[in-house]
């Protein structure tokens, strides 16, 4: 595939085949991702690759947390505190995702993208139950046989996040070029304790993002192509 083909083919995949990904293919993708630029070549990241039984266990633990978090809506403050303690629902602190509304135009774009996605999925906006079910699929990796968690060292400040983002994009483009699909998932950054339970994450590394990897199914959801900015919206005008 040419770069243009790979670039256009890469979309967030939210339904994967059960088919496993051979280890040599995963290694090849990671080797290619390592060609990414990083600030002074510091490469301030570490990754966890989970497959098989361990992935299933992590998925179950994350799903339990997610389901417990949904029950918080109907609880009073004491109930919220007790449930949050019992299921360790305190979100990951260092590289946080926004809880709730996004600021300004970003919330509008977020809603537009979500509305388009729900339309493809046949979910009505007011159907909270189905939306919750769809959200829950994040925590079982949309059925993917591989999940990757990317950690970075916050001592490298903003370059840690820039470098990690570029590295992740290399993973996604490399995977796409081999007929695989990916979904970067901020949702997998909410709780890291199930990942810590099975992997020795070096001290000082903080979770930035998760990513599901596998062979895309032919489900409609994978055909969704959310609108991108026009060049006009992207470019800053001259004074
Ligand atoms: C940092 C980051 C976090 C994301 N988190 C999620 C997520 O938790 N769940 C999900 O389904 N998609 C997630 N996405 C995918 C975006 O929704 C998707 O990239 C966006 O809608 C554009 O669609 P495209 O990737 O198909 O071009 C995330 C993407 C990025 C870059």
User: What is the predicted pLDDT for the residue at 112?
Assistant: 97
Establish how many alpha carbons lie within 13 A of residue 67's alpha carbon, considering only the half-sphere containing its beta carbon. Answer: 9
Spatial neighbors of 113 by CB under 8 A, at least 6 apart, are 226, 227
- Sign of the dihedral defined by the CA atoms of residues 61, 191, 143, 198, in that order: negative
- What does the pLDDT average to over 179-184? 98
183 lines ligand 1 (CB under 6 A): yes
Query: Does position 205 have pLDDT exceeding 90, yes or no?
Result: yes
Smallest CA-to-CA distance from 188 within 76, 47, 82, 81 is with 47
138 lines ligand 1 (CB under 6 A): yes
Cβ(144)–Cβ(16) below 8 Å = yes
User: What is the predicted pLDDT for the residue at 99?
Assistant: 86
Predicted confidence band of residue 146 (pLDDT cuts 50, 70, 90):
very high
Residue 151 Cα distances to 71, 89, 189, angstroms: 29, 20, 10
Cβ(211)–Cβ(172) below 8 Å = yes
Q: Name the residue at shortest CA distance from atom 6 of ligand 1.
A: 185
Q: Name the residue at shortest CA distance from atom 22 of ligand 1.
A: 226
226 lines ligand 1 (CB under 6 A): yes
Q: What percent of the chain has pLDDT over 90?
A: 95
Q: What percent of the chain has pLDDT over 70?
A: 100
Atom of ligand 1 nearest to the CA of 187: 8
The pLDDT tens digits for 68-95 are 999 999 999 999 999 999 999 998 888 8
One-character DSSP codes across 8-58: HH--B---B-SPPPPHHHHHHHHHHHTT---GGG---EEEEEEEHHHHHHH
User: What is the predicted pLDDT for the residue at 97?
Assistant: 85
All domains of the chain in start order, with CATH? 3-222 (3.40.109.10)
pTM above 0.75, yes or no: yes
The Å distance, Cα 109 to ligand 1 centre, comes to: 12
186 lines ligand 1 (CB under 6 A): yes
12 lines ligand 1 (CB under 6 A): yes
| Residue 137 to residue 14: CA distance in whole angstroms | 8
The pLDDT tens digits for 28-47 are 999 999 999 999 999 999 99
The pLDDT tens digits for 91-138 are 888 888 888 999 999 999 999 999 999 999 999 989 999 999 999 999
User: What is the predicted pLDDT for the residue at 92?
Assistant: 87
Strand partners of residue 49: 148
What is the average pLDDT value for the chain, to the nearest integer?
A: 96
Predicted confidence band of residue 204 (pLDDT cuts 50, 70, 90):
very high
Query: Does position 223 have pLDDT exceeding 90, yes or no?
Result: yes
One-character DSSP codes across 77-139: HHHHHHHHHHTT-PPP-SSPPPPSPPPHHHHHHHHHHHHHHHHHHT--TT-HHHHHHHHHGGG
62 lines ligand 1 (CB under 6 A): no
- What does the pLDDT average to over 202-215? 97
∠ CA 207-214-13, nearest 5°, is 80
Atom of ligand 1 nearest to the CA of 188: 8
- What does the pLDDT average to over 16-34? 98
């Amino acid at each position: 595939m040419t770069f243009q083909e790979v670039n256009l083919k890469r979309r967030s995949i939210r339904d994967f085949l059960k088919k496993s990904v051979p280890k040599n293919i995963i290694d090849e993708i990671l080797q290619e991702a390592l060609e990414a630029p990083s600030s002074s070549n510091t490469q301030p990241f570490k990754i966890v690759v989970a497959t098989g039984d361990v992935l299933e266990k992590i998925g179950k633990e994350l799903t339990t947390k997610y389901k417990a978090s949904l029950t918080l809506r109907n609880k009073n403050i004491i109930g919220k505190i007790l449930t949050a303690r019992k299921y360790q629902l305190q979100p990951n602190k260092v590289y946080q995702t926004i809880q709730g509304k996004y600021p300004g135009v970003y919330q509008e774009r977020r809603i537009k993208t979500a509305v388009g996605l729900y339309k493809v999925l046949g979910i009505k906006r007011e159907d909270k139950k189905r939306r919750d079910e769809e959200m829950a699929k994040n925590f079982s990796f949309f059925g993917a046989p591989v999940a990757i968690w990317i950690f970075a060292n916050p001592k490298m400040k903003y370059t840690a996040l820039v470098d990690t983002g570029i590295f992740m994009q290399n993973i996604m483009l490399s995977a796409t070029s081999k007929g695989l699909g990916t979904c970067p998932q901020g949702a997998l950054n909410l709780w890291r304790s199930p990942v810590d339970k099975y992997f020795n994450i070096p001290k000082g590394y903080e979770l930035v993002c998760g990513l599901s990897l596998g062979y895309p199914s032919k489900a409609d959801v994978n055909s969704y192509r959310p609108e991108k900015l026009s060049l006009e919206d992207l470019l800053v005008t001259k004074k």
